[in-house]
Structure 1
Amino acid sequence: MAPSRRMAASALLLLVLLVATEIGATRTKVAEARDCLSQSHKFKGACLSSSNCAGVCRTENFPDGECHTHNFARKCFCKRAC
């Protein structure tokens, strides 16, 4: 019985280490892909289409833009990598 218990304990420890490694790798990837947002100064009206928002943001020297709800209104926010 003793060798069987040791083998089960070793397998469990290996599984815990693998899961911990995967969780750590996932967190690192999320931290690298951070975007900074800035509300558009040129977009007028409610933001209903992120593609229109992105077009206006490109005129403001941002690579992309998307609609977000801010204070119960849809606003255009320009974004770039931080």
Structure 2
Amino acid sequence: MARRMGSLSVFLVVLVLVISLEMQAEVAEARTCKTQSSKFKGYCLSDTNCRNVCRTEGFPTGSCDFHVASRKCYCYKPCV
């Protein structure tokens, strides 16, 4: 009886892991749209500053990314 309960416990743990991995895969498939900030001025050195400017533009987040030979502030949001 104890061996059967142990096997059942292992099965349930594996089942929970598989379900949680499937849920993460669905979230990872969501596309993110990237737009250059229209309000950020100058060379982008701080992701925090960029993120704050993007929030004033209605985006949930932003970061400094390389563009050709400089770093610019890009804002991100889930694509619709």
* TM bracket, shorter-chain basis: 0.5 to 0.7
Instruction: Indicate yes or no: 2:55 matched with 1:58.
Output: yes
Displacement of 1:59 in angstroms is 0.8
Inter-partner Cα distance in structure 1 for 2:75 and 2:26: 24
1:30 counterpart residue number? 28
- Where structure 2 has 5 or more consecutive residues not aligned to the other structure, the ranges are 1-21
Note the 1:1-82 alignment, pairs <5 A. 28-32=26-30, 34-82=31-79
Report the RMSD for the aligned CA atoms in angstroms: 2.1
- Length, aligned pairs only: 60
Displacement of 1:70 in angstroms is 0.4
**Aligned AA for 2:47?**
S
TM-score (norm 2): 0.63
- Between structure 1 and structure 2, the one with the greater Rg is 1
Residue identity (%)? 49
**Aligned AA for 1:30?**
A
TM-score (norm 1): 0.62
- Where structure 1 has 5 or more consecutive residues not aligned to the other structure, the ranges are 1-24
